[in-house]
Chain A
Amino acid sequence: MAYFIQQLINGLTLGAIYGLIAIGYTMVYGIIGMINFAHGEIYMIGAFVSVVTYLILSALGLGYVPLVLLVMLMTSMLFTSVYGWSIERVAYRPLRGAPKLAALISAIGMSIALQNYVQLTQGARVKALAPVISGGITLMESDGFTVHLSYLQMFICVLTVVLMVGFSFLIDKTSLGRQQRACEQDRTMASLVGVNVDRTISMTFVMGAALAAVAGMMVTLYYGVVDFYIGFVAGMKAFTAAVLGGIGSLPGAMLGGVLIGLIEAFWSAYFTIEYKDVAAFSILVLVLIFRPTGLLGKPEIEKV
């Protein structure tokens, strides 16, 4: 039982991170109907920027943890926003209206370019940092196994929930959110009522990128190491999460992320860790066979 609860905690933490990345995929898909294949790289850049920021801050002798975290968060969000915005401008906007395959290839090219750029500027070796948030609490003890909830896991889960609530509010209740939904539903009509469609699409890339930066920072703190290749793996997982939950659906992305995180955690714990990715992707295939639109995806409704 204790072992089970421990895996639940680990899985939820991992799932929160995947979920935050998955939101970027799902929002961009919602608004332009295409997968942003460079999104995993945005997350990787977010992770790198937060490590570099951390190293700079420690070199400056700044040690107050909440401030360090805040500065790391702000810097990586700022940088990824600029990258997200640029990806849309460079890889997507010039190809709007072109066949989807063209934009797809251009995004994959962008993704390879960013990977290599980070590899060249940051080096191919992993970057490591000392634990910033350490310690935790012991929840329970049974059968000689202790369930441990680290402060870092709490931090990750709480921050994710806060971001999700804030983000849902933004999409449901603010003018910007309505403009995004309008562009998703009917881009031409949106422009007739005065929505600046180009700017709204840019904003969507920026918002997805900012959330990916948060995920990048969380991973940095959680694993303590980053390398230029993490974007690919996490990107695939988060993309899977988005499809599993129903691409285009925000709650779906979060749910998909949590499910993938849990599958991974439990599979590694009870079966063989080598096959954890196979397990996650197999579940995806099964879900898609029985529910092609994903768990919370809406079936394609007719255009009114």
Chain B
Amino acid sequence: MLKIEGVHTFYGKIEALKGVDVNINAGEIVTLIGANGAGKSTLLMTVFGKPQARSGRVLFEGQDITRVPAHEIVRLGIAQSPEGRRIFARMTVYENLQMGCLPTDGSHFEDDVRMVFDLFPRLEERRNQRGGTLSGGEQQMLAIGRALMSRPRLLLLDEPSLGLAPLVVRQIFEIIKKINEAGVTVFLVEQNAFHALKLAHRGYVMVNGNITLSGTGRELLDNPEIRAAYLEGGH
């Protein structure tokens, strides 16, 4: 469904991605783990061309989207809940969801809001509150909800558990599973490697802008190197 082929991405002279290959099949949850600064967020943003890959290709369902502008990519069926959530702080919860449905023709808006509120009842209670005043967990729910409003077939999630209480983290992961079971392919970037790999069908490990390992979630969880680098001392 999503094929990333030999992608190199730069910030000025700094090479953040050094030839990355990732393949995501329809229906999967694929997890990407890696230390801080490895280039995970850069990879997700490169899918939207922000920044654009300097070389290599990004293919979505066979179509080359490397040079397609971001606002058109979301119309092809990819949505992102980016690093830092990036809620529109001075808009209400409801308005944030309205922003999310922009790529659609709007005819399913009411149903989709209902679906998001059913997934995240907290958001319904706060529907007229400004995004900037929500707690971290609520903002994360809103970021995922906003992404779902575009009815994506592929959902990119950048560290949805970051900074959240363990109980909320568990909720979020359960919901990611539900979303996937409803037919949405998920590409999940996480530092919370244990939870993420348990959830995932497959996973990749990124170090310094390179993919160093890949395998099924189980394989990666059992891999001693991974245990040492990403799991020991974790949960």
Contacts and interface: CB of A to CB of B under 8 A. Distances in A.
Interface string A162-188: 000000000000010011011001101
Given A186-B88, A304-B89, A192 B70 contact: yes
A194 B48 contact: no
B80 A192 contact: yes
Given A194-B71, A194-B74, A194-B75, A178 B98 contact: yes
Given A191-B50, A193-B100, A193-B150, A182 B70 contact: no
Contact of B88 (A175, A181, A194, A197): A181
A192 B48 contact: yes
B140 to A, nearest CB: 12
A194 B80 CA distance: 11
Given A192-B82, A193-B99, A178 B91 contact: yes
B173 to A, nearest CB: 23
B119 to A, nearest CB: 18
Nearest to B87: A304
Contacts of B89: 185, 301, 303-304
A78 interface: no
Contact of A196 (B71, B91, B95, B99): B71
Interface residues of A, number: 20
Given A304-B85, A304-B86, A182 B91 contact: yes
Majority SS at the chain A contact face? helix
Interface in B21-36: none
B160 interface: no
Contacts of A133: none
Contacts of A179: 99, 102
A175 B102 CA distance: 8
A90 to B, nearest CB: 21
Given A186-B86, A189-B86, A194 B50 contact: no
A186 B86 CA distance: 8
A304 B139 CA distance: 10
A74 to B, nearest CB: 30
Contacts of A193: 74, 79, 99-100, 102-103, 146, 150
A188 B50 contact: yes
Interface string B55-71: 00000000000000111
Contacts of A197: 71
A108 interface: no
Contacts of B70: 188, 191-192
Contacts of B85: 304
A272 B17 CA distance: 67
B33 to A, nearest CB: 23
Contacts of B150: 193-194
A191 B71 CA distance: 5
A32 interface: no
B131 A304 contact: yes
A76 to B, nearest CB: 32
B132 interface: yes
B132 A301 contact: yes
Contacts of A191: 48, 50, 69-71
B102 A195 contact: yes
B102 A194 contact: yes
Contacts of A190: 99
Contacts of A196: 69, 71
B71 A178 contact: no
A178 B106 CA distance: 14
Nearest to A185: B88
Contacts of A192: 48, 50, 70, 74, 79-80, 82, 86
Interface string A191-221: 1111111000000000000000000000000
Nearest to A172: B95
Contacts of B71: 191, 194-197
A195 B95 CA distance: 14
15 contacts: A175-B98, A186-B86, A189-B82, A191-B70, A193-B150, A194-B74, A194-B75, A194-B102, A194-B150, A195-B71, A195-B99, A196-B71, A301-B90, A304-B85, A304-B86
The 5 closest A-B pairs by CB, nearest first: A191-B70, A194-B103, A189-B86, A194-B102, A194-B74
Given A178-B95, A179-B99, 7 more contacts: A178-B99, A181-B91, A185-B88, A191-B48, A191-B50, A192-B80, A194-B74
Interface of B: 48, 50, 69-71, 74-75, 79-80, 82, 84-91, 95, 98-100, 102-103, 131-132, 139, 146, 150
